[in-house]
Structure 1
């Protein structure tokens, strides 16, 4: 993601627009008039599923934070702005629609096919996050140190959890709402921890 505030604002707007489209499809489903060809997982779910999703994400975040502290990796965290922190909340919606909505679907043939897809997609999801690499001024640089591998592993674990909350029995409608809640809780928690540790640097 570019550090340019204008780029971040643009992506924030895109995320809000996509979230609006998904919410519109959800409301149509609640009214008994599901949208033909609507966005995936736009269905209501149980409050229990939402609670499980959020608690699980916070447990993963707690483990990640504990690991960074005990491995001495805290000082290697990246700095972010408040604007970028806001973007990560709507980015969670886009990422969930793509990865938990389109890439692995409940209609896949057989349990093995679903969970094979989950592991494969989670590897891709972890690798596209810039922890083992960085792109700066048109140059790709590999960052294969302990922090890069640890953070990539944490993203992989989070992805497995986001898939779990979509397919778990507590979410029989296979709604993406628990996925949104889990992902947003994780990203909000990361922002709060960065702020507490001094890695939030300015508004934009």
Structure 2
């Protein structure tokens, strides 16, 4: 926990950007009957019945201090999908950074083995040499600011029925563009002192 908090409290440095990664799943629903458009003084009418259209996944990458985020919509969340995000971070989004400090949870696919499954050993080693992993503790996923971004995305963009991955991807891309233009940032205020005070029950008791 303290390691992740210290990473979040670092000042902005483009050579060592602090990025966060997290995943979310969205159930897709299609309309059985076309909704009726709203008329003057009346809301739109949507039938309660729906059709399940499967699921898709949103892979969230963000840099809170810069006010940047990017969401990759995929049909699955395999090691190869995760490795593709790692490669995008290093080669597309941060090509000039010396090392990307990546905060993420400890899901079984979120490790150094994934690039080796997706790419040649030479490429995987090159990518991992420019990534420094910082894992949130068990039951401490709230320390990952990508989770906050996902919550904002769900409230502002995905709080309704969406019937296809293409539709969801288009909505997410528009949301992402608006927030990036505004450089919407997350202001982290949880310090080590606050953690030790509020979560003192988690620390061992030392008798002098």
User: Do the two structures share a fold, i.e. TM-score over 0.5?
Assistant: no
Greater helix fraction, Structure 1 or Structure 2: 1
More strand by share: 2
Higher relative contact order (CA 8 A, sep 6+): 1
TM-score (norm. length: structure 1): 0.27
Which protein shows a greater Rg? 2
